Amino acid sequence: MLTRWVPPSLVDDVIRAAGRKERRVRLLPARVAVYFVLAMALFTDCGYRGVWAALTAGLPGPPVPDPSTAALRQARRRLGTAPLALLFDRLRGPLGTTDTMGVFWRGLRLVAWDGTCLEVADSPANLAHFTRHGVRTTRPAGYPQVRLTALVECGTRALIDAVFGPLRHKELPQAHDLLPALEPGMLLLADRGYDGFQAIRGAADTGADLLWRVTAGRLLPVIHLLPDGTHLTLICDRRSGDRLAQWHHRGRITEQPSNLTAITMRVISYQITVTAGDGTTRTSTVRLVTTLLDPDKHPAAELAALYHQRWEIETAYYGLKATLRGPDRVLRSHTVDGVTQELYAMLAVFQITRMAITHAATATGIDPDRLSFTIALRTARHTVINANAVGWGRLTDILTHVRNLAAPKRRCRTSPRCVKRTLSPYAYNKTKGSVGQKTKIATRVTLLTSARP
């Protein structure tokens, strides 16, 4: 499965482009080193020798070389990070087509961005570069962390682009580095962490449409009330925002300030009422801003329900951090270059697996959400160990088998926020009764039409 999506010709191309082509015949040439690093991302619970054994177990012919752990480590260092970075750059991008279910809404490709953190080995080099996460207690966090921000296609959970760096790199600057991956025809979903004029203007300037949640404290004056209960507003920079706020608080008795640095957006305010199985209810107000200004072409009720698709990026992160890397595991590399190389390999393997899932879902007319990432990953591992190139038909049959498909409609579940990794080994009771609760939820979305011009 690795060589199907990453053929030797592609590997040789990125090695040549990175200038890592060996000058003499080696026991572990650069091409083999690339596949070894990719296999490390597949077999995260194995050491170097275990990964090599899985990679070469099914190879026919004469006995394969049996390098030592030190030789494999040196091969990684000779290879460097550039070939893996170029390989991920060749693999990344949206995968869904017009024939793939759940990828488009009214002709717009649904995408989302968000950030997350991954733990790395607690070595002096990693600690000095990546640093630990700050905590409220006197005890430091257990491991240094890498901050990763990705742009994901919601329908397939494929990685359109991703950037990462030390923990001191914040999500907003990393999101700015993802702007070249946005293009017209996309609808970008984002949460309240990206509620800022510079971020909104930068994303809007790419030609992509936006559907972002904003904080409760942001002033969104009614510039024009629309028939469906939504209204047009202005998102301004700090200086123009102060002038607009003064105009609003004075009762709008004067003309609207001119020469504002602002973006016209549409505000959708609505309430979500959640009823749990025990009869208790919870109501919260959500405010969205969007560049889709026409209420007839883009109904507010559909946009309110569509915003839930933003959580697909959280599912993608779960597949990357828990299913692929393994729960409660840290990246194995003890150097900064090693962490960078290993993380690019993880992103590449994740994208390869999403390619297999999307291809099978499109060929059979099934929503990619119903295909199991775990089963696809397990199949990939089997093909590597057995050195068996699974045909498209067989791979599709495995992924789309009726017993392997998820239900067409997801179960309604809820789980309160809690600390799942307690700092004290004696504090396990803090999470008792608050994790893994399953309940039936009825969600009702009611648009608020009380806004006055």
Instruction: Identify whether 182 is part of a domain.
Output: yes
Q: Which amino acid is at 278?
A: D
Query: CA torsion sign, 34 to 37 to 42 to 43?
Result: positive
**CA 189 to CA 115: how far, in whole Å?**
13
**CA 35 to CA 86: how far, in whole Å?**
14
Instruction: Identify whether 193 is part of a domain.
Output: yes
Instruction: Name the 3-class secondary structure at 264.
Output: strand
Residue carrying structure tokens 């207690």: 137
pLDDT for residue 141:
72
Residue 297 DSSP label: T
- Residues 230-264 have pLDDT tens digits of 999 988 888 877 777 777 777 665 667 777 888 99
Mean pLDDT, the chain, integer: 86
Query: CA torsion sign, 150 to 155 to 158 to 161?
Result: negative
Q: Quick one: which of 340, 448, 332, 353 has its CA closest to 95?
A: 353
Q: For the chain, report the end-to-end CA distance as a whole number of angstroms.
A: 59
Instruction: Identify whether 351 is part of a domain.
Output: no
Residue 106 DSSP label: T
Instruction: Identify whether 267 is part of a domain.
Output: yes
Residue 219 DSSP label: -
pTM to 2 decimal places: 0.90
CATH code of the domain covering residue 158: 3.90.350
Range of the domain at 288: 92-316
**CA 213 to CA 194: how far, in whole Å?**
8
pLDDT for residue 59:
82
User: Would you state the structure tokens that stand for residue 210, as one six-digit string?
Assistant: 């936006």
**CA 306 to CA 321: how far, in whole Å?**
25
**DSSP track, 321-356:** IIIIS-TT--B---SHHHHHHHHHHHHHHHHHHHHH
Above 90 in pLDDT, residue 213? yes
Instruction: Name the 3-class secondary structure at 157.
Output: coil
**CA 48 to CA 54: how far, in whole Å?**
10
Q: Is the CB of residue 235 less than 8 Å from the CB of residue 245?
A: no
Instruction: Identify whether 350 is part of a domain.
Output: no
- Residues 285-310 have pLDDT tens digits of 889 999 999 999 999 999 999 999 99
Instruction: Identify whether 339 is part of a domain.
Output: no
- Residues 153-163 have pLDDT tens digits of 999 999 999 99
pLDDT for residue 254:
64
Q: Give the pairing of strands 209-213 and 186-190.
A: parallel
- Residues 343-382 have pLDDT tens digits of 999 999 999 999 999 999 999 999 999 999 999 999 989 8
- Residues 106-163 have pLDDT tens digits of 999 999 999 999 999 999 999 999 988 765 555 667 889 999 999 999 999 999 999 9
User: Would you state the structure tokens that stand for residue 201, as one six-digit string?
Assistant: 């203007």
Instruction: Identify whether 324 is part of a domain.
Output: no
pLDDT for residue 135:
59
Domain count, the chain: 1
Instruction: Identify whether 82 is part of a domain.
Output: no
Residue 98 DSSP label: T
**CA 442 to CA 18: how far, in whole Å?**
54
Q: Is the CB of residue 375 less than 8 Å from the CB of residue 162?
A: no
At what angle are helices 336-364 and 30-42 packed, to 10 degrees? Answer: 70
pLDDT for residue 99:
93
